[in-house]
């Protein structure tokens, strides 16, 4: 029996290595993929080794980093359905070989029928289940539009880029043990929240190595291949989305879909030490939080402090506390509300924010409010570098794990539950414990605030790091710790990614740590007055380091915390 199971899994994995237009996975048993690769030309790191492999294969075939990003995103929509998607949204940050920095915002938007109080009952109390599960939780998807917006920077035809995803959906792939656990755990929700059972539901329990075939999704991808963005936002696919909304009392209309537009925005850019950092602007809070925290700690020389000592953890915690307080008060979609970004990231403002910082004593979120001014954790991130010097960081999401758990009947893809990322009611936390204000209130056409932080770091004007992570509101702090580990502590990239992480976000007023966080440091922090809460994994960072020099050694790291995979050549 054991022999048959192993042979069956082997045959499935060998199939995948051929169905992907010549993909070569050197060790079919090593389904978890490679956690570290050191190469000289290009690399892709993503949440699934099959997706990373598809991206690298396109690089080998003459594509650039943007081509690889498109291929990898589409493959993740098939092999990583908990967060990879065409029914959600995301952000792309890119540094092009000509020196230009670009960002593309394809965050979801609120439908035209959405309203500020749509999730409140008659007494004004939030009904958070409505913003988190089912049809009413869905924002207008942006991913497909984002893919086509990035095509102007690509080299290869879209039909070539989407084909690996079509084949994966049509012929199937072997699910991992964690995916089997997720699908079994969510079976009842998939049944309850869908008008017809999706491909994720089967009579017997899922097991690692089972083949997941998604024929409806394959047909949707073929329409996108043949018709472009209109294959999603108009015609049959759009009609299927609207029909699904009607059946489930959702509010996304055909016009909402037809009207969706991605936006190119000016990147958040700043210097930290001798490095130039490029990240995502609003409606992502990530870039602003990144800049605020790093600039608040820059003059305090955290690198001279022992790594993850109580002293260094306190410094980062207090900077994070202040940045997240500002996030709650001021940040939202800048196309709808006035956000004082220039002030929030100014040196004078950030110095003033840290004036009441006292080493050795815990701050208090009751007294440390926002300064005075005159997102499931099931997100997914992709880091890419190519041989030409193009670097791409993309973070994309459905919000919660498997989004709204609503699958568009006949189209085969999951819709997001991003409406929960709005402030349903000021001061009331969302599914990640984050609170907000009127700046992030619901309005038709508005983009909900995000924490996604796709980031590129330049050294001497050349790409040095490409980094990002999933994790909801823990995303910015995870990226910050990876950068501090690399820049201030001069760690090897695998150590920078895999060291224990911690997180503070103003409210709730506690430091969250992973279970392997140093116990002595935790005790000292408690003595200072901090509440310490041990939780599960914090982030799954995908990082690429590009060293200078003729050989240009590239080290790509996939976080040990997941089934993520690094590939390169």
What is the spatial distance between Cα 428 and Cα 423, in angstroms, rounded to a whole number? 7
Torsional class of 5: left (φ above 0), alpha (ψ -120 to 50), beta (otherwise): alpha
Cα distance between residue 211 and residue 225, in whole Å = 24
| Residue in the block written with tokens 């089934």 | 563
Catalytic residue among 109, 237, 379, 453: 379
Residue 520: count of CB within 10 angstroms of its CB: 10
CA distance 179 to 157: 32
Asked whether the beta carbons of 77 and 400 are under 8 A apart, the reply is: no
Instruction: Centre a 10 Å sphere on the Cβ of residue 526 and count the other Cβ atoms it contains.
Output: 14
Q: How distant, in Å, are the alpha carbons of 224, 310, 390, 532 from that of 526?
A: 54, 10, 45, 7
Distances (CA, A) of 350 to 131, 399, 547: 34, 30, 32
Contact criterion met (CB below 8 Å) for 207 and 12: no
Q: Which residues contact 542 (CB under 8 A, 6 or more apart)?
A: 45, 46, 47, 381, 382, 383, 467, 468, 469, 557, 558, 559, 564, 566
**Is 379 part of the annotated catalytic residue set?**
yes
With H, G, I as helix, E, B as strand and everything else as coil, classify residue 496: helix
Gap between the Cα atoms of 255 and 321, Å rounded: 41
Q: Are 123 and 156 in contact (CB under 8 A)?
A: no
Cβ atoms of 372 and 356 within 8 Å: the answer is: no
For residue 128, give the H/E element and its range.
helix 128-132
**What is the Cβ-side half-sphere exposure of residue 292, based on CA atoms within 13 angstroms?**
31
User: What is the per-residue DSSP string for 261-327?
Assistant: --EEEPPEEEEETTEEEEE--TTBSHHHHHHHHHHHHHTT-GGGSPTT-HHHHHHHHHHHHHHHHHH
Q: Which residue has the tokens 């085969």?
A: 412
φ, ψ of residue 382 to 5 degrees: the values are -130, 130
Q: HSE-up of 216 (CA within 13 Å, CB side)?
A: 17
Active site residues: 379
């Amino acid at each position: 029996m054991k022999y048959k199971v192993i042979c069956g899994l082997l045959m499935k994995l060998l199939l995948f290595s051929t169905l992907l237009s010549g993909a070569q996975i050197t060790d079919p048993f090593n389904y978890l993929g490679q956690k570290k690769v050191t190469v000289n030309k290009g690399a892709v790191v993503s949440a699934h080794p099959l997706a990373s492999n598809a991206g690298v294969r396109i690089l080998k075939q003459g594509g650039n980093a943007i081509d690889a990003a498109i291929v990898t995103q589409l493959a993740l929509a098939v092999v990583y359905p908990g967060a990879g998607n065409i029914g959600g949204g995301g952000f792309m940050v890119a540094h092009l070989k000509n020196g230009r920095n670009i960002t593309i915002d394809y965050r979801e938007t609120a439908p035209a029928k959405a309203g500020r109080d749509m999730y409140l009952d008659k007494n004004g109390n939030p009904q958070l289940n409505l913003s988190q599960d089912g049809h009413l939780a869905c924002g207008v998807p942006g991913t497909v539009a984002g893919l086509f917006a990035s095509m102007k920077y690509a080299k290869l035809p879209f039909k070539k880029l989407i084909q690996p995803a079509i084949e994966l959906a049509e012929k199937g792939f072997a699910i991992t043990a964690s995916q089997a656990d997720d699908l079994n755990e969510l079976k009842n929700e998939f049944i309850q929240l869908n008008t017809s059972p999706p491909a994720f539901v089967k009579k017997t329990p899922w097991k690692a190595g089972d083949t997941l075939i998604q024929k409806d999704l394959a047909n949707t991808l073929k329409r996108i291949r043949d018709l472009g963005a209109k294959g999603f936002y108009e015609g049959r696919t759009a009609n299927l989305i609207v029909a699904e909304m009607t059946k489930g009392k959702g509010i996304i209309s055909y016009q909402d879909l037809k009207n969706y537009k991605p936006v190119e925005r000016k990147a958040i850019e700043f210097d930290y030490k001798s490095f130039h950092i490029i990240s995502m602007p609003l409606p992502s809070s990530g870039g602003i939080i990144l800049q605020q925290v790093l600039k608040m700690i820059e003059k305090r020389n955290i690198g001279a402090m022992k790594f993850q000592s109580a002293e260094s953890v306190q410094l980062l915690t207090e900077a994070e506390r202040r940045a997240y307080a500002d996030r709650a008060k001021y940040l939202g979609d800048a196309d709808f509300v006035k956000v004082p970004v220039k002030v929030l990231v100014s040196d004078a403002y950030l110095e003033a924010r840290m004036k009441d910082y006292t080493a050795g004593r815990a701050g208090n979120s009751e007294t440390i409010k926002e300064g005075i001014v005159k997102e499931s954790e099931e997100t997914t991130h992709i880091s890419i570098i190519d041989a030409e010097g193009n670097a791409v960081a993309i973070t994309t999401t459905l919000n919660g794990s498997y989004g709204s758990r609503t699958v568009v009947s006949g189209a085969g893809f999951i819709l997001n539950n991003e409406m929960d990322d709005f402030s349903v009611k000021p001061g009331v936390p969302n599914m990640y414990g984050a609170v907000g204000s009127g700046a992030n209130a619901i309005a038709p056409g508005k983009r909900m605030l995000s924490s996604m932080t796709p980031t590129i770091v330049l050294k001497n004007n050349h790409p040095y790091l490409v980094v990002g992570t999933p994790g909801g509101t823990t995303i910015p702090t995870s990226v910050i710790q990876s950068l501090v580990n690399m820049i201030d502590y001069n760690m090897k990239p695998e150590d920078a990614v895999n060291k224990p992480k911690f997180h503070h976000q103003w409210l709730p007023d506690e430091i969250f740590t992973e279970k392997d966080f140093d116990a002595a440091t935790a005790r000292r922090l408690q003595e200072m007055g901090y509440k310490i809460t041990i939780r599960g994994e914090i982030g799954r960072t995908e990082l690429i380091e590009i060293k200078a020099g003729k050989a240009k050694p590239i080290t790509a790291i996939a976080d040990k915390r997941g089934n993520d995979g690094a590939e390169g050549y």
